[in-house]
Structure 1
Amino acid sequence: MSSLYLDESLELGAVTPGATVELSGDEARHAVTVARVRTGERIAIGDGRGILVRGVVVSTGARELALEVEEVLVEEPPETRITLVQALAKGDRDELAVQAATELGVDAVVPWAAARSVSRWEGPKAEKGRQRWASIVREAVKQSIRAWLPPVAPVTTTGDLAGLLQGTRMLLLEPTATTPITDIRPDGRDLALVVGPEGGIAPPELERLVAAGAEPVRLGASVLRTSTAGPAAIAVLNAALGRW
């Protein structure tokens, strides 16, 4: 299977087989000097907006390479989008959740400063944290060879979630919920999966989110870590939406 490289500045909409696509900058430098891509190898280049081109590398430089296109793949956006609202967590547990969720096909990521989040993104740290998650998402897209690059929103508070996700069906992962996530059926709305931190969602937050229209759902009898709960739920939703 070919490796994927991303360049969001590329306009691949008019590219046809036989054309040449040039990759430059840091992404090309990584391909040539780190991954050691050489002339004659087959790779894929994507724009992060639904188009992948596959072909043979015909030339390389220190910070550039050229691809002769053999195949153009166009992927339409999903009918039902899934957004992961991931609570900030200590260590790298939130990052593990974001990485796995991206590989599993999540369409957008929202960092959530929950009441029980040990990690805090404040001041300059807020944008630095968002950029870190965006980098993790980007690398996960490349690893899983996805055509769409999910955006990562700025960190949000519980009070802002309802407004941010207006018109979206919010599914709140809660071990005490009576409705299993396997009972969820698509109703035409996009989905937002809300995952709490290590200590769970605080009762006042739970009440506030339910009052805003969120539906508490459970995964099963066991209680999963915040790093695995979101990806597990996304796998279930992928089956329900017919993605798998």
Structure 2
Amino acid sequence: MANFYLLEELADARAGGTVTVAGAEAKHIATVARTRVGERLLVGNGRGLVVDGVVEQVTPASVSVRALQVEQTDAASPRILLAQALAKGDRDELAIQAATELGVDGVIPWQAERSVSRWAGPKLDKGRERWATIVREAAKQSMRPWLPAVAPLATTKELAGLGARHRVLVLEPGARHPITSLTPDGRDLLLVVGPEGGVAPAELEVLEAAGAELVRLGDTVLRTSTAGPAALAVLNAALGRW
């Protein structure tokens, strides 16, 4: 299977034309993947455009690819966003990595009341940049035509405000309804996952008051790194993505 690379500035391409990859991606193609002239690879722009081509010239600074096929994939509809609470260690990072591989359409870092990890000062930009890098690499690994966006850090109040445009689903072990009982209604979905200690009662009140639905995943309690990807798999099946 051909390796997949991202070239966000790629605006258009046609079969028979040439695509030039430069920068870090070219260096990876030449020195890490050790790609040679004549080998196939895929180049996408993260906005649905994917070029399947053959390498005609390769150096660490620049790689030329002759396009054999060009495909434009529509964005998923309805969309699924993941609001992932910041968590200690790398559990939040594991969550967004797996969620990206499973097809999430966007990621929102959430500063929950019980989040041990805190993004403040210099950590604010560094944290988001770190998440964006993880999402980008996971999208490449899973060869996704669309690159999920990483939104700015959100508060609980800001998440509640998204209920005006999204169907908000909060994962809560004690919820009455299982996520498998949901019937899609065409609205974009916002999946909210709390930190290690769960979503605080006051946060649940704010979210429910804004129209959020509490749902559970089976009868067990999953880690914050596992819950989001597990719920996403269920929603993929319900929406016919799988």
- Shorter-chain-normalised TM-score: which range? over 0.9
Q: CA-to-partner distance for each residue in 1:150-179, whole Å, 9 max, x for gaps? A: 000111111111224531000000000011
Residue 10 of structure 1: how far off its partner (Å): 1.2
The one of 72, 76, 79 aligned to 1:78: 76
Aligned residue in 2 for 1:4: 4
Letter paired with 2:8: E
Q: Distance in 2 between matches of 1:120 and 1:218?
A: 26
The one of 112, 119, 122 aligned to 2:120: 122
Q: Are 2:169 and 2:190, in contact at CA under 8 Å, matched by a contact in 1?
A: yes
Aligned residue in 2 for 1:56: 54
1:172 aligned to 2:170?
Answer: yes
Aligned residue in 1 for 2:102: 104
Deviates more, 1:80-89 or 1:182-191: 182-191
Q: Distance in 2 between matches of 1:85 and 1:60?
A: 40
1:90-239 pair list within 5 angstroms: 90-239=88-237
Q: Distance in 1 between matches of 2:99 and 2:183?
A: 20
Q: Distance in 2 between matches of 1:216 and 1:144?
A: 30
Q: Distance in 1 between matches of 2:97 and 2:164?
A: 25
Residue 62 of structure 1: how far off its partner (Å): 2.1
Q: Distance in 1 between matches of 2:10 and 2:14?
A: 14
Q: Distance in 1 between matches of 2:140 and 2:60?
A: 21
Q: CA-to-partner distance for each residue in 1:143-202, whole Å, 9 max, x for gaps? A: 000000000011111111122453100000000001110011111110000000000001
- Identity percentage over the alignment? 63
Residue 25 of structure 1: how far off its partner (Å): 1.1
The alignment's TM-score, normalised by the length of structure 2, stands at 0.98
Letter paired with 1:136: I
Letter paired with 1:162: A
Q: Which runs of 4+ in 1 moved over 4 A?
A: none
Sort the Cα spacing of 1:165 and 1:37 in 2 relative to 1 into closer, same or farther, 3 A: farther
Aligned residue in 2 for 1:88: 86
- Report the aligned-residue RMSD: 0.9
Aligned residue in 2 for 1:41: 39
Q: Distance in 1 between matches of 2:105 and 2:113?
A: 25
| Other structure's SS at 2:21 match | strand
Q: Are 2:128 and 2:152, in contact at CA under 8 Å, matched by a contact in 1?
A: yes
Q: CA-to-partner distance for each residue in 1:194-217, whole Å, 9 max, x for gaps? A: 000000001111111111111000
Residue 32 of structure 1: how far off its partner (Å): 1.0
Q: Distance in 2 between matches of 1:166 and 1:78?
A: 20
Letter paired with 2:122: P
Residue 33 of structure 1: how far off its partner (Å): 1.4
Letter paired with 1:198: E
